Structure 1
Amino acid sequence: MSSLSRQCSERNAATDKFPVELWIEVFRNISHRPTLAHIMQVNGHFCAIAEEQLYHTVSLIGQDHFSKFRFSLESSPHRAPFVQDIRLLRLEVENSSVPNILPSFLTSLRNLRRLELTQVPDFRFTSDTPYCDALSAVQIPHLRRLRIEAGLHPYRFLTFLEAQADFLEELEMTNTRLFKDPPVVDLLAARRFPLLQVLECDTLFLGGHTRIPVPPNLTHLSRSMIFGWELPVLAQRLGTQLVGLKLDSVWLDDRSLADGPPSWSLLNVKAKFPRLRYLQAEAPYIRNYSAIDWFPDKAVERTDTKFPVHPDGAAPQSHSRLTIAWVFDFVIPDDCDAWEQSGTENAVRILTALGGYVERVLLNRASRWISVRLGAGSEVQGERKVIKEEMGNMDRYWAQV
């Protein structure tokens, strides 16, 4: 036996000493794709394990990456079942062959569970693209999560969505105004999403169109471009279900302002959303004007509802404690210190009055997350200690709480 053959034999024997499950767990924690590719070259044992991890989650940016990956699957068809999560990013509309290939490509990924598709250019300003026709002919039996950011023809996209409706658990449609046309509402009125738990969209969905049925298992909702008058409608339709609620770009239009300042307060949130654990809102006007009156002292003055304050931090029975998140998108860099100080003061104001209900307040600006809470039982000059902590990325916390 040659020296090289002997080394290969010894290497294979060493890797075989450990169970396959252990190597799978090790390789699962390797996110660096070139490293996984090198591991595949060690021996046949490692190749089989690392290859499955390498193809489990795939991100393809543009047509060139898409074409190379498709050829890889065509040359080695056994790899297609490994793909469970694929992101097709920045796909071009003009001079692209991807739409013609997309149906057969997606159909070949028979174990696909998550699909993300984004389109350029100007996807927000077009409603009819080749991707609508391509998607309308596709059924992905194991698809559980769908995120799409593209110009969509409502009827063609609904054909695709209907084929996946019975199994989808998460649906994100950002910059996709799909439900604004009455005929589309008519189509959706006859459809249900029995397993849907997480929904993100920027249309009058479930708030403005009461004919669209509420998915029975929906617990997390993100709505942008929402009007103030929709909040009571959302509460009526989804109040007993929601655990996480994210509101972006809340508009106070004439209909919202007809009766003067907003009548919704945290007491209304507590009463109408008994399961809610997370409430996020854009907050450029926390001090002055918002669709929700955040300050509990004002709310208590104008309502007969009494809310118990628990100094020991115990939550009221039958209600979850709430995390509030304020997102400040319009703070200029020179105002960072003032932003943090003002946000902290307002957070303490809420926590002091409603500490038995509000557990903490998160402040977010430019991907920086700060948690503000009151320490249990700590006394500093007669007041509970304010605890501030830098948090990691919590952009998706609304859907995971």
Structure 2
Amino acid sequence: MRVNQKDLLAFVVAHDRLREIDMRYSYIFPDDSQHAQVIPHPSLQILTCRTPLLSSQTPVPTNLTHFYRPYLLSRQLPGIVALLGPQLVSLRVGECFPIERSSPWSLLDVVTNFPRLRFFHVEMFHTSLPSLGTTLVDWFRDRQASRVLIARPKIVLAWTNKQQFLRTEKQEIEWDQYVDKFAVRVLTEWDNYIERIIYRHSARPYISVTLDAAGGMGGQLVKAEDTDMRDDYWKHV
């Protein structure tokens, strides 16, 4: 059902005790004065939006700690940092569209720009062959700096395809092997900052992986179905 934008804005503005607002299907832009101060609510903790709406909100609600941007360009992550970096606990970003002259971030960029972040969910485009996107974050860039310890909570990473496709058993095994190998590298090289990794590359259940107590280069992958993980998990961290 399509909602009239004017009615939606009136509803949001009138209900100033909302804890969560989902405006992913709202095409609202900050250069329109009638849209200013749509979400100044001090009670707001969870926000989903797919437009530059947030940048028009001054000040940004200080209790806003959980944010989901369903689609973004690779250059727009610094904008999220500028507005919400110091306060975000959970960040979910949708499929990232690459643009010219835009370099991916490293995990070091993530941990330094989001000092309170404990959950980072990255959605990726579906591909027929096993792969993990690096348009937004290059998971192995600046890995030499991963030995530098910054006092902060560890992060749970989540890697998912937004569209869940059924695959053959052979394809499932190939994908599992690829993602497991990728996850071991990330967990090993960034063990100071990454607690565990959750992934889902098809219609099968979510998988959680971590390293055993040995840690470091000698750590073995511990893998199990994650029965707590679901699509809205980012809201409840």
Task: Report the counterpart of residue 87 of structure 2 in structure 1.
Answer: 241
Equivalent of residue 197 in structure 1, options 18, 42, 45: 45
1:152 aligns with 2:20: no
Q: How does 1:31-50 map to 2 (within 5 A)?
A: none
Instruction: Judging by fraction of residues, say which structure has more helix.
Output: 1
8 Å contact kept, 1:204–1:226: no
For the residues of structure 2 that align with 1:388 and 1:325, how far apart are their CA atoms?
14
**Any stretches of 5+ residues in structure 2 without a counterpart?**
none
For the residues of structure 1 that align with 2:61 and 2:79, how far apart are their CA atoms?
15
8 Å contact kept, 2:146–2:189: no
> Residues 264 and 317 of structure 1: is their aligned pair in 2 closer, same or farther, counting only changes over 3 Å?
closer
1:182 deviates by: 3.3
1:321 aligns with 2:160: no
1:320 deviates by: 0.9
Residue type matched to 2:42 in 1? P
8 Å contact kept, 1:325–1:361: yes
Percent identity, please.
30
Task: Report the counterpart of residue 196 of structure 2 in structure 1.
Answer: 360
Give the paired residue count: 227
Equivalent of residue 347 in structure 1, options 179, 183, 187: 183
Aligned-pair RMSD on alpha carbons? 2.4
Residue type matched to 1:354 in 2? W
For the residues of structure 2 that align with 1:191 and 1:360, how far apart are their CA atoms?
33
1:179 deviates by: 1.5
> Residues 378 and 258 of structure 1: is their aligned pair in 2 closer, same or farther, counting only changes over 3 Å?
closer
> Residues 232 and 217 of structure 1: is their aligned pair in 2 closer, same or farther, counting only changes over 3 Å?
same
TM-score by length of 1: 0.52
1:190 deviates by: 6.7
Q: How does 1:60-139 map to 2 (within 5 A)?
A: 119=1
1:294 deviates by: 1.4
**SS at 1:307's partner residue?**
helix
Q: How does 1:1-400 map to 2 (within 5 A)?
A: 119=1, 151-165=2-16, 167-174=17-24, 176-180=25-29, 182-183=31-32, 186-189=34-37, 192-206=40-54, 210-213=55-58, 214-253=60-99, 257-259=100-102, 262-284=103-125, 286-287=131-132, 289-295=134-140, 298-300=141-143, 306-308=145-147, 318-328=151-161, 329=163, 331-334=165-168, 335-364=171-200, 365-366=202-203, 368-377=205-214, 383-392=218-227, 393-400=229-236
8 Å contact kept, 2:188–2:215: no
1:378 deviates by: 6.6
1:288 deviates by: 5.8
TM-score by length of 2: 0.86
> Residues 288 and 159 of structure 1: is their aligned pair in 2 closer, same or farther, counting only changes over 3 Å?
closer
Bigger Rg over Cα: 1
**SS at 2:92's partner residue?**
strand
> Residues 378 and 238 of structure 1: is their aligned pair in 2 closer, same or farther, counting only changes over 3 Å?
closer
8 Å contact kept, 2:30–2:36: no
**For 1:241-275, what per-residue CA distance to the aligned partner results, in whole angstroms no more than 9, with x for missing partners?**
1000011122113xxx224xx24110000110010
> Residues 152 and 288 of structure 1: is their aligned pair in 2 closer, same or farther, counting only changes over 3 Å?
closer
For the residues of structure 2 that align with 1:248 and 1:359, how far apart are their CA atoms?
22
For the residues of structure 2 that align with 1:331 and 1:258, how far apart are their CA atoms?
32
1:391 deviates by: 1.0
For the residues of structure 2 that align with 1:288 and 1:157, how far apart are their CA atoms?
34
Which structure ranks higher in relative contact order (CA pairs < 8 Å, sequence separation ≥ 6)? 2
> Residues 181 and 355 of structure 1: is their aligned pair in 2 closer, same or farther, counting only changes over 3 Å?
closer
Residue type matched to 1:389 in 2? A
